[in-house]
Structure 1
Amino acid sequence: MNELGKLEDLPLEYREALTERNLVPLWPSMRSVLPPNVPTRDTSVLNWDYESLRPLLMRAGELTPMEKAERRVLILANPGHGLDNIQATPSIYLGMQLILPGETAPNHRHTPNAVRVIVEGEGAFTTVDGEPCKMERGDLILTPSGKWHEHHHEGDGPIVWLDVLDLPLIYRLNSSWAMEGELQQTDATRDKSYADYSAAGVVPNINLKRGKTDTPMLRYPWSKTRACLVEMAADHREGLLSISYVNPENGTSLFPSIGFGALMLRPGETVTLPKRTTPAIFHVIEGAGQMQVEGHPSSNGEPLAFVEKDTLAAPGYSHITLRNASVTEPAFIMTADEAPLHQYLGIF
């Protein structure tokens, strides 16, 4: 591929004339925005290990009361995108959120879609548009775009969860905003949407909402997901054990921007995931092992160790290999990626 002309090759008076008219020549930067064969992959291979993160999060609880924080969160920023850009991948934001016993994170709603993956603690619940959703380890709880939500903690110890939002995407579309509201009056004492949709393959006719785009099920308990993966393992002695979280009414992804899933590694198993365009996030629910990413300079091909509650990032267009360190126990990992967005854009 031939080398193109540089900006400094152009006469100064010509460059100044372009600048005065808000014009920029393409050819000096074309190779950077349209690189040959493989795109720019800014997402660095990284592990936000929970053991070192947790003390800093607890310290935040001592330093900043809820009324001064509204949401007490440490952002998991990927250095490949710059620490000021609130990005774990190009369009996914991650944050570890802490609520202490007796606290309430106030009611608000916003344009970005959000998912909460519970990391530790008991006795808390999220209220979404009047529906309380219990929060237990590994549960996936949705607060789709525009839905009112608040978080309450009535337990004894701290509760921590992983926030996963499409905030970088919505922010760069100049469409990110939030609105505060009064505390909600809950209309039920149970997770109504989970009760209605928890049976696989069964959809109650009374709840069908034609034309509705977001999923009607707000809480996906980890106990159900784990049991599904274990049952799959009993029937499949080899091959990747993975599931996707979907809208129970139509089978589409939970959000049009982020896809969520979970996978199980059999005892001692090593799995190389299908090579894909999208970066990936991995949150370790149970177990320990290693992630190895080939073909990206941030990893040098070296394996990255992980344990329970760690959160990892890997770039797209790379070979990702996961290994279960235990030869007696399975490992369980929750995943998030940009696959729905890539599929919609026709680049997946």
Structure 2
Amino acid sequence: MSDNPSILDERDLQLGRSHVTDTPELEAFYDQLAGHNAGAFWKRANAIEPWEPDSRYKPTLWRWAEMRALCLRAIALVRPEEAGRRVVTLLNDSPAGRENVAVCGWLFSGMQAMKPGEITPAHKHTASAHRFIMEGRGAYTVVDGHHITLGANDYVLTPNGCWHDHGVAPDGEVSIWQDGLDIPLMNCLEANFYAVYDQPAQTPAFPSNDLPLSYGGASVRPEGIGGWDKPYSPVMVYRWEATRDALHRLAQVSDGSPFDGHMVRYSNPLTGGWAMQTMGANMQMLRPGLHTRAHRHTGNVVYNVAGGRGYSVIGGRRFDWQEHDIFCVPAWTWHEHVNLDPENPAYLFSFNDFPVMEALGVRIEEPFAENGGHQPVTA
């Protein structure tokens, strides 16, 4: 979308679109309007109401080997007590990404590394958060008094408004995880609040892993405990082994999606919907040698390679990836995935803003109809 009203799409030269020819009298009128904090809608109508979404964000890839080294460097330079959260921010390669501190669209992401015995001081905020564990042993989080242990490729929730702190047990190992938050959205809505806890860390008020052990069973719901009335999933952490096994079972009875291979949603078991209100997450498996068809959709997606090697074509550009590389697909951008391994599956974790799109009634998807469903690679 161009902010320059002088750039005219040929489709705009029709009834129902703005194509006013300015005159000296109109120019004087525009100046008069400006003096009253007003303007002529037809001057900007075509730019702010495009024919289709035109993202300000670019497909961007972050290499795990490079980002891991930077996270470990941050450990050597900054103490978590001083930083609050020692996070290396992932900025989209675009002016919008830098301006909004965004990884893609209204999503924030970063990578956080912690040494054994360290903590991130307890706090809460309006923004919702979730995390994907990439490396380490002994990591944990405490959310509203619930202590939750974390392992590699686990997906964990930190819902908005919940007190939370993180750490690594003294006998653990350096741990690194990817954060995902809706900070840019909350700031756009001017609804962001932040508070710090009155102690460095919470004292757990429940047995360790009480929520995932209570609600994380397959297709069962616990009886005899208080009802869950919060708007997010009570599971809180989704274990990698169970997620991987679910994908393998699905592959036994389904060909999967032509666009995403075999995919599962991290869901709220009580509703079947997304685990949180503003951000969703998926894990998908690309069978050996699979080349998916291209499609595009409203909503932004951030991927983390949970295993394997391959490449994705995003907006006509090829991005090669391997384990724990991170890349993003901006809204309404064509994309397809390829597993380069002829013998082993590849796994892609991803998070998105689909719950917001669905709540607003604007989640739209479209397949690529030409060339057998595959984009021409231009770069």
Unmatched 5+ stretches in structure 1: none
Distance across 2 between alignment mates of 1:8 and 1:72: 56
* CA 19–133 in structure 1, closer or farther in 2 if over 3 Å, else same: same
Shift of 1:209: 3.2
Q: Distance in 2 between matches of 1:140 and 1:210?
A: 20
Question: 1:160, 1:8 → 2: CA distance?
Answer: 60
Q: Which residue of 2 aligns with 1:172?
A: 188
Q: Alpha-carbon deviation of 1:157?
A: 3.2
C-alpha displacement at 1:257, in angstroms?
A: 1.5
Change (3 A) 1:164 1:238: closer
Give, in angstroms, the shift of residue 312 of structure 1.
Answer: 0.8
| Aligned equivalent of 1:104 | 119
- 1:107/1:150 contact within 8 Å kept: yes
- CA positional deviation for 1:251: 1.1
Q: Aligned-pair distance for 1:184?
A: 1.0
Seen in structure 2, the aligned counterparts of structure 1 residues 200 and 273 have a Cα distance that, compared at 3 Å, is farther
Q: Say whether the 8 Å CA contact 1:7–1:28 is kept in structure 2.
A: no
In the TM superposition, residue 94 of structure 1 has moved relative to its aligned partner by 0.7
Taking structure 2 as the reference length, the TM-score comes to 0.85
Aligned partner of 1:303: which letter? R
Report the counterpart of residue 48 of structure 2 in structure 1: 33
Question: Which of 1 and 2 has higher RCO (CA within 8 Å, sep 6+)?
Answer: 1
Residue-by-residue CA offset, 1:247-301 (whole Å, 9 max, x unaligned) = 11111211221111110011111112553222211111111100012xx3xxxx1
Secondary structure in 2 aligned to 1:253?
A: coil
- Aligned residue in 2 for 1:311: 326
Distance 2:134 2:341 in 1: 21
Instruction: Kindly state the Cα deviation for residue 75 of structure 1 after the two structures are TM-superposed.
Output: 1.1
Q: CA deviation at 1:59?
A: 1.3
| Corresponding residue to 1:44 among 58, 62, 65 | 58
What is the 5 A alignment of 1:1-348?
1-2=12-13, 4-5=19-20, 13-36=28-51, 38-80=52-94, 81-154=96-169, 155-181=171-197, 182=199, 183-207=201-225, 209=227, 211-237=229-255, 239=257, 240-272=261-293, 274-293=295-314, 296=315, 301-348=316-363
Amino acid of the residue matched to residue 65 of structure 1? Answer: R
TM-score by length of 1: 0.92
Is the Cα contact below 8 Å between 1:133 and 1:219 reproduced in 2?
yes
SS of structure 2 residue aligned to 1:252: coil
Q: CA deviation at 1:8?
A: 9.0
Task: Give the fraction of aligned pairs with identical amino acids, expressed as a percent.
Answer: 27
Check the 8 A contact 1:141/1:220 in 2, yes or no.
yes
Superposed displacement of residue 108, structure 1: 0.5
* Alpha-carbon contact 1:245-1:254 (below 8 Å) kept: yes
C-alpha distance 245-4 of structure 1, shift in aligned 2 (>3 A): same
Instruction: Provide the alpha-carbon RMSD of the alignment.
Output: 2.0
Helix, strand or coil at the partner of 2:102:
coil
Distance 1:226 1:33 in 2: 43
Aligned residues: 341
Unaligned segments of structure 2, at least 5 residues: 1-11, 364-379
